[in-house]
A and B are shown apart, each in its own frame.
Chain A
Amino acid sequence: MVSGTYPPKAVMAALYLFLIKHYNSWRKTNKYLQLRYTLFLPVCTFARTMKFIMRPQSTLICVILLAFTLFASSCKQERKLPIYGLRDTKTVKNSDGTQGIDTVYQTIPSFKFLNQDSVYITNDNFKGKIYIADFFFTSCTSICPVMHRNLKMISEKFKNNPDVMFLSHTIDFKYDTPSVLKKYAQKLGVDGPKWQFVYGPKDSVYTLAEKSYLVAVNVDSTNRDGYVHQGYLVLIDKDKRIRGAYDGTSAEQVAQLEKDIPVLLAEDKK
């Protein structure tokens, strides 16, 4: 037998050094950091909090803290609408001379279409306004009547606000001439400068729909009406960016649109 401590001191020292070394290198790995933040810290904090709460004299402090948290959470943060579409970046010069990166958002390109009064309508008609765009055709019997029933309800809610406009594009480039659109608008009961019904050649309207407003439209000879399209009501802000798309046939989404319009209007006020 070998006398002395067991295991021998030298072995223990080696083991200790080994552990320290590996512990230190392990501490530097991402794995450790991850564990530390996801497991160790919450557990320790929770344990400490529990210990603190268990003390009888801290009840009052707890009540005050709880009340404060509730009060703070009741103050809702201002809602902001998202910005949709593709994004790009560009390098810009800051005011102090340094260079920075800025985001370029997708915007609606310039367009020129005939409206229901056979007057050309361009982006300038929507300058400084927010508007809701959609795609339809007058002989449509499927989703368009529902979309326009709902959009008409929205337009009546905002009829006194000059900053809100409506833009309906027809996708029936054969039949829906301005005079047909005029009759449609009159019959729908919304004929006025606030709600524009526009007619344009197939190429430009279809490209604008799919590339810019992100609404699918197409000619479909198998469909009874001859065209198929999505029923989105697309919300466009003053900077021509897409801020929302709502299914015009769904009552809930239309209600959401109605709530989102004031949010967007408030944003521009600042």
Chain B
Amino acid sequence: MRKFILISLVSLTLISMFYSCQTAETVQQDAYYVNGRDLYIKHCQNCHGAKGEGLGALTPPLTDSVFMKANKEKLACIIKNGISTPVTVHGQVYEGKMPEFNLADIDIAQLIVYITNGFGHKQGMYTNQQVESDLRNCK
């Protein structure tokens, strides 16, 4: 019995140690998330709101997980070049125009990590290289 308790305690400690270690990627993602939040406050929050709730029918909210998932590759283009075509978010059509934000690739990557992991989303990491390749496919 004593042996059993000892073994289970040791293994529990080992498992918790293993799980508490963050991988290099998670650490980087957290750093991106934090920087992305600052960028969001500076560039996006005025219109999209502190909780990504949008503003009336003027600015779409960023809380539609389906939209965010389906359009993840377009996010970089939308931020970089703005958008003037209507978008449907949460079933509502938003026709306003979003201005372009001429940010560096790294900033866009950090911003996208923030908006796709905050506001109830959990889409994980998004790198510099992905921004680059997504921007090449902008229409």
| A residues lining the B interface (CB < 8 Å) | 139, 141-143, 145-146, 148-149, 152, 184, 186-190, 224
A152 to B54: give the CA distance in the assembly, Å: 13
Query: Which chain B residues border A145 with CB–CB below 8 Å?
Result: 46-47, 55, 58-59
Q: How far is the CA of A145 from the CA of B96 in the complex (A)?
A: 13
Q: Are A187 and B47 in contact (CB under 8 A)?
A: no
- Which of B47, B56, B57, B96 has the most chain A CB atoms closer than 10 A to its own CB? B56
Interface string of B100-116 (1 = CB under 8 A from A): 00000000000000000
Identify 10 new A-B residue pairs, CB closer than 8 A, beyond the known A145-B46, A184-B58, A189-B57: A141-B47, A141-B99, A143-B46, A145-B58, A152-B56, A187-B56, A187-B57, A187-B58, A188-B56, A188-B57
Q: Are B46 and A186 within 8 A (Cβ)?
A: no
Binding site for A on B (CB under 8 A): 46-47, 49, 55-59, 96-97, 99
Distance of A179 from chain B, by nearest CB (Å): 14
Q: How far is the CB of A229 from chain B (nearest CB, A)?
A: 14
* Chain B minimum-CB-distance residue to A224: B99
Contacts of A146 in B (CB 8 A): 46
By the criterion CB–CB under 8 Å, are A188 and B55 in contact?
A: yes
Main SS class of interface, A: helix
A189 B56 Cβ-Cβ under 8 A = yes
Which residues of chain A come closer than 8 Å to B99, judged between CB atoms? 141, 224
Chain B residues within 8 Å of A184, by CB: 58
Contacts of B97 in A (CB 8 A): 139
A30–B18 CA distance with the chains assembled, in angstroms: 82
Residues of A within 8 A of B49 (CB): 149
Q: Give the residue of A139, A141, A188 whose beta carbon is less than 8 angstroms from that of B46.
A: A141
Most buried by A among B47, B58, B99: B58
**Count of A-B contacts judged by CB separation below 8 Å:** 30
Query: Main SS of the interface on chain B?
Result: loop
Closest Cβ–Cβ distance, residue B15 to chain A (whole Å): 44
Q: Which residues of A contact B96 (CB under 8 A)?
A: 187
In the assembly, what is the distance between CA of A186 and CA of B58, in Å? 9
Query: Which of B46, B58, B59 interacts with A142 by CB under 8 Å?
Result: B46
Can you give 18 contacting A-B residue pairs, CB < 8 Å? Answer: A139-B97, A141-B46, A142-B46, A145-B46, A145-B47, A145-B55, A145-B58, A146-B46, A148-B55, A149-B55, A152-B56, A186-B57, A187-B58, A188-B55, A188-B56, A188-B58, A189-B57, A190-B56
Please, which residue of chain A has its CB at the minimum distance from the CB of B43? Answer: A141
Rounded to whole angstroms, the CA-CA distance of A142 and B101 in the bound complex is 12
Question: What B residues does A224 contact at CB under 8 A?
Answer: 99
In Å, the complex CA distance between A152 and B47 comes to 14
**What separation, in Å, do the CA atoms of A146 and B54 have in the docked complex?**
11
Docked complex Cα distance between A148 and B58 (Å): 11
Cβ of B57: which chain A residues have Cβ within 8 Å of it?
A: 186-189
Complex-state Cα separation, A184 to B55, whole angstroms: 11
How far is it, in angstroms, between the C-alpha of A190 and the C-alpha of B58 when the chains are bound? Answer: 12
Residues in A whose Cβ lies below 8 Å from that of B55: 145, 148-149, 188
CA distance A186 to B99 in the complex (A): 21
The complex places the Cα of A224 from the Cα of B49 at a distance, in Å, of 21
CA distance A28 to B90 in the complex (A): 82
Measured CB to CB, the closest approach of chain B to A46, in angstroms, equals 52
Write the nearest CB–CB distance from B53 to chain A, whole angstroms. Answer: 9
CA distance A102 to B97 in the complex (A): 53
Question: A190 to chain B: which residues have CB within 8 Å?
Answer: 56
| Nearest-neighbor residue (CB-CB) of A149 within chain B | B55
A27 nearest CB across to chain B (Å): 65
Closest chain-B Cβ to A194's Cβ sits at a distance in Å of: 16
Instruction: Please list the 5 inter-chain residue pairs (A to B) with the smallest Cβ-Cβ separation, ordered nearest first.
Output: A187-B57, A189-B56, A188-B56, A187-B58, A145-B47
